[in-house]
Chain A
Amino acid sequence: MSQEEVDILKRTLARERASRKAAEEILEAKSAELYELNQKLEASHKELTTLYSKTNSQLQGVFENIADAYVIMDLWGNVLKMNQAATDLLGFNAKKEDINLMNLVREDEVSRVAPSFKRLLEKGSITDFKVNIKTKNSEQKLVHINASTIYEDGRAVAAQGIVRDITLENKYQQALVAEKQKYGNIIANMNLGLVEVNNNDEILMVNQSFEEMSGYTEEELLGKKGGDVFQADKDNDVIKRENEKRIKGESNSYELKVKNKSGDIRYWLISGAPNYDLKGNTIGSIGIHLDITELKNLEFQKEKLLQKLEKSNEELQEYAHIVSHDLKSPLRSIDALISWLKEDNKDTLDDVSLRNIGLIETTLEKMEQLISDILNYSSVASDNTESEPVNTHLLVEDLLKILYIPEQINIKLINPLPVVNGDKTKLQQVFQNLISNAVKFNDKEKGYVEIGAKEDGKYYRFSIKDNGIGIEPQFHEKVFKIFHSLNKSKDSTGIGLSLVKKIINLHDGKIWLESKPGEGTTFYFTLKK
């Protein structure tokens, strides 16, 4: 081999080496690239797996935890999977036993279920399907179902559904409907007129009773303002005022004078309440109308009667005054004439005549007293009783200064008397009568009268106690009746105690007595604090 050949071979070899190296380098680079790619792939796969398991567990979680029952079944209704809520609802556990949902349907509903099932398979879903079922525990339930078909490679393989128990909801709804009907019936049949108006007071609805009350039909009233149609005195702005209140959300009640279709004046008691829409906005009001004309007429009649009574009371009092004046005047004349007779004939009149004249004078006095008492009694009846704070302690003390008290009788106030509301003059008459009676009818050598007062709930209980002659039990009631004087004497007309009772009654109090004949009497009476 020549040197040339050897060189050629060497060069060739060198070239081959170089090219192999280059190829090796390329290979190496590629392999590194591949490795890197592989690494990346692996990472992304891991990521995907994680994601998948996460999503899967999320789904599982949703499946397990949704409040509604969730069921997957095959195309024949056999349960493949169900969540806890479904177990709770149906009473079965798919993990432990095989269930076909068709078996749960209530017998009378089966015919209705089949077509729906068919539709689910054909159309891919059913919504708002309501059916009655019987659970394992034999409970009747109404359920609401939304279901859809599950496809695999475009072929229906199963169905999933959400089942909601609406038994209660349905019951509520039924109750609501029943309630609504109940109130509807009440409204239709009640004797109260019902009117619904909008915020402009335009009538939206009236019930039959209102039609009867007003004389108008519903058609005639729709869209009209109640105030325009019915109100009798248009100047009165009561409707406007009350409606404003209602718009503010206040319920109210007021009386209204109205004119019905035939022009009769009636009185209605209207109770109204604002009407709201679902969002809570006031959209008008509902008014209940009660015809109170009869009641109102009675009221007017009563007022008239009262006025009449007041007037006749007044007249009666005037009359009493005039009569008493007319009766008293002749007494004065007789007394004057008698005393002139006595004066002019004082030398010729004998003892008997003088005594008889004395009797005439006594009779005159008694007659005078009687007239005064009757006048007093009739005056008390009048309602012009004034009410002011009266210090009864001072009143009695003043009275004791005026009254004639014999020496053998000791009068004392055993405790401070209170201040009460009343008519001073009339209360004075009460004390005056009771104290003078206590003094008058005392037969003891050492007589006493004790005046006191005690708190008694809302009242003060006054007592006037004496150690006088006493009153027999059978007269305890009678003494308060007019003209029932127990002791006929010149200064007793039988009106005093009835006057006292009348005054006490006028002051919303009571009077009674306790007594032992021969030992004494205590009069009690109450006056409001």
Chain B
Amino acid sequence: MKNLKVLLIEDDMIEVMKLGRATSSLNLNHKIIEANNGEEALKLLEEKDKLPDIILLDLNMPKINGIEFLKILKADDRLKYIPTIILTTSNNQRDLLECYKIGVAGYVLKPLKYEDYVSKIEKLLGYWSINELITV
């Protein structure tokens, strides 16, 4: 298992804490980079040599929302290769359809129970850490 560089795009402070605490309680050594919104994330992604392995993306965010961010990402020749997994509370069918249409590597619903959340995150990160990833 290799350690991943994960970009978490999330405006909710507690959600950021949740991912941090979950990975540490799971003893995972993935590197988590945080961006509080899409704009901030795009700025981070400008540094082409420091691109993340995967992106965890929340949909409901101020300014550029998740879907808009996804469109920008997928329109970019380099960034479009980064697997992007939606992490959201919204199971709106329209959102789901739109996300898969634009191109996502996964769509994970945030469960109510924290312990369920930890279990989902473990599986998610576990899966991507055994995947072969490309760097463009």
In the assembled complex, how far is the CB of residue B56 from the closest CB belonging to chain A, in whole angstroms? 15
Known: A325-B88, A331-B112. A336 touches B17 (CB 8 A): yes
Among candidates A325, A328, A332, A361, residue contacting B117 with C-beta atoms closer than 8 Å: A332
In the complex, whether A329 has a CB less than 8 A from a CB of chain B is yes
Instruction: Report yes or no: B114 in contact with A339, Cβ–Cβ below 8 A.
Output: yes
A340 part of interface (Cβ distance < 8 Å): yes
Cα–Cα distance between A321 and B12 once the two chains are bound (Å)? 18
Checking B21, B60, B95, B112 against A332 with a beta-carbon cut-off of 8 angstroms, the contacting residue is B112
CA distance A368 to B109 in the complex (A): 13
Write the chain B residue with the least CB distance to A320: B92
| A336/B12 in contact, CB under 8 A | no
Within 8 A of B (CB), among A309-359: 321-322, 324-326, 328-329, 331-333, 335-340
Cβ-neighbour of B114 out of A325, A336, A365 (below 8 A): A336
Taking CB atoms, residues of chain B closer than 8 Å to A333 are 12, 14-15, 18
Q: Is the beta-carbon distance between A325 and B112 smaller than 8 angstroms? A: no
Could you tell me if A335 and B90 are in contact, using CB atoms closer than 8 angstroms? no
Please count the residue pairs between chain A and chain B whose beta carbons lie under 8 angstroms apart in the complex. Answer: 52
Which A residues lie within 8 Å of B90 (CB)? 321, 324-325
Say yes or no: is B63 at the interface (Cβ < 8 Å to chain A).
no
Interface flags for A361-380 (1: CB within 8 Å of B; 0: not) read 10011001000000000000
Q: How far is the CB of A336 from chain B (nearest CB, A)?
A: 4
Does B50 sit within 8 A of A, measured CB to CB?
no
- The chain A residue sitting closest to B17, CB to CB, is A336
Q: Are A335 and B113 in contact (CB under 8 A)?
A: yes
Residue of B nearest to A329 (CB): B89
Instruction: Please measure, in the bound complex, the distance between the C-alpha atom of A330 and the C-alpha atom of B37, giving whole angstroms.
Output: 18
Given A325-B90, A329-B12, A340-B21: A335 and B114 within 8 A (CB)?
yes
B114 partner residues in chain A, CB cutoff 8 A: 332, 335-336, 338-340
Docked complex Cα distance between A221 and B88 (Å): 71
The interface size of chain A toward B, counting residues with CB under 8 Å, comes to: 20
Complex contact A328–B115 (CB within 8 A): no
Complex contacts, A339 vs chain B, CB 8 Å: 113-115
Q: Which residues of A contact B110 (CB under 8 A)?
A: 329, 332
A321 vs chain B, min Cβ distance (A): 4
For residue A340, which residues in chain B have a CB less than 8 angstroms away from its CB?
21, 114
Interface centre among A322, A331, A335, A338 (most CB of B within 10 A): A335
In chain B, positions 97-115 with a C-beta closer than 8 Å to chain A are 110-115
Q: Which residues of A contact B112 (CB under 8 A)?
A: 328, 331-332, 335, 364-365, 368
Number of interface residues of B (CB under 8 A): 20
A526 CA / B14 CA spacing, docked (Å): 48
* Chain B neighbourhood of A332, CB < 8 A: 14-15, 18, 89, 110-112, 114, 117
CB distance from B26 to the nearest CB of A (A): 13
Contact between chains at B21 and A325 (CB < 8 Å): no
Contact B14 A337 (CB under 8 A): yes
Q: Per-residue CB proximity of B49-89 to A under 8 Å, as 1/0?
A: 00000000001100000000000000000000000000011
Which residues, 283 to 333 on A, are CB-close (under 8 Å) to B? 321-322, 324-326, 328-329, 331-333
> Scoring B residues 1 to 42 as 1 if CB is less than 8 Å from chain A, else 0, what string do you get?
000000000001011011001000000000000000000000
On chain B, the residues within 8 Å of A325 by CB distance are 59-60, 88-90
Measured between C-beta atoms, what is the minimum distance from A346 to chain B in Å?
13
**Distance of B21 from chain A, by nearest CB (Å):** 7
Chain B residues near A331 (CB-CB < 8 A): 112
A332 CA / B92 CA spacing, docked (Å): 18
Contacts A364-B112, A368-B112 known; A328 to B14 CB distance under 8 Å?
A: no
Cβ–Cβ contact A322 & B89, under 8 A: no
Chain B residue with Cβ nearest A314? B94
Q: Which residues of B are found within 8 Å of A326, using beta-carbon distances?
A: 60
Bound together, the chains give a CA A339 to CA B25 distance in angstroms of 13
A322 surroundings in chain B (CB, below 8 A): 60
Residues in A whose Cβ lies below 8 Å from that of B12: 329, 333
For A335, the chain B residues whose CB sits under 8 A away are 112-114
> Are A336 and B60 in touch, CB under 8 angstroms?
no
A510 to chain B, nearest CB (A): 28
Q: Is the CB of B117 within 8 A of A336?
A: yes
Residue of A nearest to B58 (CB): A329
Residues of A within 8 A of B59 (CB): 325
Q: Could you say which residues of chain A place their CB within 8 Å of the CB of B113?
A: 335, 339, 361
Chain A residues near B17 (CB-CB < 8 A): 336
Across the interface, A321 reaches (CB within 8 A) one of B92, B115, B117, namely B92
Kindly identify which residue among B14, B88, B95 contacts A336, using a CB–CB cutoff of 8 Å. B14
Known A325-B60, A329-B60, A336-B117; further 14 A-B contacts with Cβ < 8 A: A325-B59, A325-B90, A328-B112, A329-B12, A329-B15, A332-B15, A332-B110, A332-B114, A333-B15, A335-B113, A335-B114, A336-B17, A337-B14, A339-B113
